């Protein structure tokens, strides 16, 4: 009996000591937290987003944007001419919501990118009437196979490899897009092969008519790219050529071939900013079946310079400018207006967590009076001031 009582007392003392030790540990932890001990780090918004993505069986990314803009024309008109996505003024306007889902199984990758909103409608337009309305929601849809490291085959619908600017607002520095983007390809549907070795790369592809998800013409486009890219600098030389559907006449009565060359260069400046250059040249070769000896070769070309710099130690702010020139003297683009067009854009960034606020001033000039003055007369200038809100995830 004494042995039992002794064992009971020893156990009771041990439990008491362990309880006291645990309570002391909890009190010390509470005290340290109260005094500002940072042993428990609060996760940032980006870290929380990544934790959420890790729980989903596929990779997700996306963005949304909206804007308000004035054209300084009062009640004269709400239209903004020769813009891609920001075509309305004096109104709160929606941009686009897109959600991109992808997954890689060993060497096979599939990607689906759906988009909705006015920006998506303009970006996903198709020259072929066979495309149904639901297809417009598919901004990208492709399957890629990489049999060996560096070699990839892609089949489906994907964004263009031409130019410096992209469809998604969160992937561009400037909210409005340039004449180079407006008058270049948006996307391609077809097959391409990419090969990369260290910092160098090449691509060759066969596509439907540019900006079509379904092709009513058996002739195809050929695309090619040579590239160099490292941690600081990138250089892309692009080619795209083939039969172009004539949207205004019977294609049986007219042969219309289009060739395009594009050069894109970008580099970081001491980690504080970026300088970029984009130049493109497009030439048509037109002739009628009735008179094949008569050949027309209209052309147009664009040249743009971009620059931006980081502001502040935290990098929450940026400011940048874009200046460019568009030669359309052969009247083959922009509603057949024969003109020299130049534009200047000044853009700021201010980041609040995942939210990016983008104030922007833009001035467009044309040698022809294609714009409006405040009194309603034709003019050479168009001035806009806008504020966009963009979220990317």
User: What does the pLDDT look like over 119-132, one tens digit per residue?
Assistant: 888 888 655 544 54
Cα 72 from Cα 383, distance rounded (Å) = 7
| Residue 262: CB atoms within 10 Å | 24
Q: Please spell the DSSP secondary structure of 85-120, one letter per residue.
A: S--B-SEEEEEEEEEEEEEEETTEEEEEEEEESHHH
Question: How far is Cα 231 from Cα 245, in angstroms, rounded to an integer?
Answer: 40
Asked if the model's pLDDT at residue 175 lies above 90, the reply is yes
Question: Which of these ranges, 67-71, 316-320, 331-335, has the smallest mean pLDDT?
Answer: 331-335
Residue 236 CA to residue 320 CA, distance in Å, equals 22
SS (H, E, C) 223-239: EEEEEEECCCEEEEEEE
Supply the pLDDT for residue 267: 95
Most confident segment among 74-78, 238-242, 293-297: 238-242
**pLDDT tens-digit map of 377-388:** 999 999 999 999
pLDDT for the residue numbered 270: 81
Confidence at residue 245, expressed as pLDDT on a 0 to 100 scale: 58
Asked if pLDDT for residue 25 goes beyond 50, the answer is no
Q: 189, 157 in Cβ contact below 8 A?
A: yes
Beta bridge partners of 276: 266, 306
- The topology under which CATH files domain 45-392 is Porin (2.40.160)
Rg of the chain over Cα atoms, rounded to whole angstroms, equals 29
With 0.85 as the threshold, say if the pTM is over it.
Answer: no
| Residue carrying the six token digits 């260069």 | 265
Q: Mean pLDDT over all residues of the chain?
A: 83
pLDDT for the residue numbered 202: 97
| Two structure tokens written together for 289 | 């079946």
- 50-55 CB contacts, 8 Å cutoff, 24+ apart: none
Q: How far apart are the first and last CA of the chain?
A: 70
pLDDT for 243 equals: 79
Q: pLDDT confidence of 165, banded at 50, 70, 90?
A: very high
- pLDDT value of position 56: 76
The 3 state secondary structure assigned to 150-218 is: CEEEEEEEEECCCCCCCCCHHHCCCCCCCHHHHCCCCEEEEEEEEEEECCEEEEEEEECCCCCCCCCCC
Mean pLDDT of 193-205: 96
**For 200-259, how does the pLDDT look when each residue is reduced to its tens digit (9 = 90+)?**
999 999 998 888 888 777 778 999 999 999 999 999 999 999 876 555 554 444 567 789
Q: Supply the pLDDT for residue 293.
A: 75
Residue 26's pLDDT band (cuts 50, 70, 90): very low
């Amino acid at each position: 009996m004494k042995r039992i009582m002794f064992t009971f007392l020893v156990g009771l003392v041990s439990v008491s000591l362990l309880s006291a030790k645990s309570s002391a540990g909890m009190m010390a932890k509470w005290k340290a937290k109260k005094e500002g001990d940072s042993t428990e780090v609060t996760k940032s918004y980006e870290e929380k987003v990544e934790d959420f993505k890790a729980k989903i069986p596929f990779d997700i990314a996306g963005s949304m944007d909206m804007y308000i803009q004035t054209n300084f024309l009062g009640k004269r008109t709400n239209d903004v001419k020769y813009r891609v996505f920001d075509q309305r003024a004096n109104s709160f306007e929606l941009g686009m919501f897109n959600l991109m889902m992808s997954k890689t199984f060993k060497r096979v990758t599939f990607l689906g990118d759906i988009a909705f909103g006015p920006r998506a409608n303009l970006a996903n337009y198709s020259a072929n009437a066979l495309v149904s309305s639901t297809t417009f929601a598919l901004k990208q849809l492709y399957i890629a196979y990489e049999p060996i490291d560096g070699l990839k085959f892609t089949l489906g619908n994907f964004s263009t490899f031409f130019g410096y600017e992209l469809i998604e607002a969160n992937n561009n520095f400037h909210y409005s897009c340039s004449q180079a983007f407006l008058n270049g390809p948006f996307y391609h549907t077809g097959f391409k092969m990419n090969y990369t070795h260290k910092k160098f790369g090449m691509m060759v592809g066969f596509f439907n008519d540019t900006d079509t998800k379904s092709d009513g013409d058996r002739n195809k486009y050929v695309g090619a790219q040579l590239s160099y890219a490292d941690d600081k600098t990138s250089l892309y030389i692009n080619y795209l050529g083939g039969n172009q559907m004539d949207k205004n006449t019977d294609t049986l009565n007219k042969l219309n071939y289009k060739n395009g060359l594009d050069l894109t260069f970008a580099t970081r400046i001491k980690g504080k900013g970026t300088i970029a250059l984009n130049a493109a040249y497009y030439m048509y070769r037109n002739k009628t079946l009735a008179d094949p000896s008569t050949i027309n070769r209209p052309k147009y070309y664009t040249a743009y310079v971009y620059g931006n710099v980081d502001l502040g130690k935290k990098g929450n702010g940026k400011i940048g400018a874009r200046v460019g020139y568009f030669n359309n003297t052969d009247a083959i683009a922009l509603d057949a207006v024969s003109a020299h067009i130049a534009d200047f854009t000044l853009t700021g960034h201010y980041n609040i967590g995942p939210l990016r606020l983008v104030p922007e001033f833009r001035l467009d000039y044309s040698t022809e009076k294609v714009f409006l003055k405040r009194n309603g007369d034709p003019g050479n200038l168009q001035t806009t001031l806008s504020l966009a809100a963009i979220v990317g995830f």
